[in-house]
Each structure stands twice: as C-alpha cells, then as structure tokens.
Amino acid sequence: MTDTTELSKVDAMPVVVTPMRRRHLRGVLAIEERTNHRPWSMGLFMGELRMPTSRCYVTALQGHEVVGFCGLMLVGDEAHVTNVAVHPDRHRRGIGARLLLVAARQAVGRGVRALTLEVRMSNAGAQELYRRFGFVPGGVRRNYYSDVNEDALIMWAHDIDTEEYGRRLDAIESAFDEPLRTLGFG
C-alpha cells in the first residue's frame, strides 16, 4: 500500500469480519509488527489457530487486505482478549469495535459469561472502546509491558450472557455508519 490511489480504493471497500485463517497471517503479522513492541510470531499465531475449541480469532478485511484482528482465549465461562489490533492507517474508523463485537458474540455463543483483557495505561483510545463494551477496571499489572516499562490496566466485562449485555452489543452495532458485514461464521 504505497500508492495513495490504491489506499483510497481499499478505503472505499466495506469492512468484512471473518474467522482468521492461515491465509490471513501475512497481513496479521504486518499489523502486529506495526502495533506491538513485542510482536507475536507466525508460529505463535499458527499455534493459536490450531486450538479452535479454546481460541477464537477474527480478522477485518477490506477487499483482500487484512486491516485488523482480534483474538480470544476461552477458559471455562471466561475469555481473555489476547489482542485487538488495527492497521495504524485505519484507526478511528470503527474497525476495532466491529472486531470486538463479533468476538464478544462468538464468546457468548460458546457459553462465556465474562471477558477480561489488559490494556496499556497510556492507551486512552482503547480504554474508551473497551468501556463502550462494558469493561470496567479490575486492577493493575505492574510493568506488564516491561519492554516499555508500562503498567497494564486489567479490565473486565461481566454477565455478557445476559439480555442486557446483548442489548448493549445491539446498540453498538446500530451506531455503525454502515451495516456490520460478517462472512464464514456458522
């Protein structure tokens, strides 16, 4: 994506959220390299994809380009959001919200009752997004991001299996400027 005409063509395409597949990993890794101080490796992502009963990974595509991804690790009736990342050129366009919405609904469908995650203390934008999804602070992990000497805020969203939480997700979806598009979910 070096040509601005090419970028604008991709920007004009709708965002589609789909289950992550091996074919998406090159794009996922490119985003991971740009957004994470300690990026995950190809092997780590491939290992996660080999555990479909305890993992749930989704990607956001515009055309054939991966523009974001989100992952969950499921343990009993809880799920840990392992990562949410959007290509830096696509921030503030609702892609992260679309990814988290689909992941949350997938979690509910698998019997999850609570979601948790860690977020950088300095990442106010991500914290704002998570609050929209009902996440509240639950603690601090000191120096969790040791490579940059930063603490993590632990956040939780409880009772995600309730009608009330379902209405929250419906309200988030109805606020999108274009309909949520998904592909490949059963």
* Residues forming the active site: 118, 130
Tell which residue, 14, 51, 53, 172, has the closest CA to residue 104. 172
Token pair belonging to 117: 């995650």
| Strands in the chain per DSSP E | 15-19, 55-62, 65-75, 78-86, 114-120, 136-145, 150-158, 181-182
Quick one: angle between helices 163-174 and 95-109, nearest 10? Answer: 150
The pair of structure tokens assigned to 139 is: 């603690």
Contact 101, 49 (CB under 8 A): no
Report the C-alpha gap between 16 and 59 in whole angstroms: 8
Do residues 157 and 135 touch, judged by C-beta distance below 8 A? yes
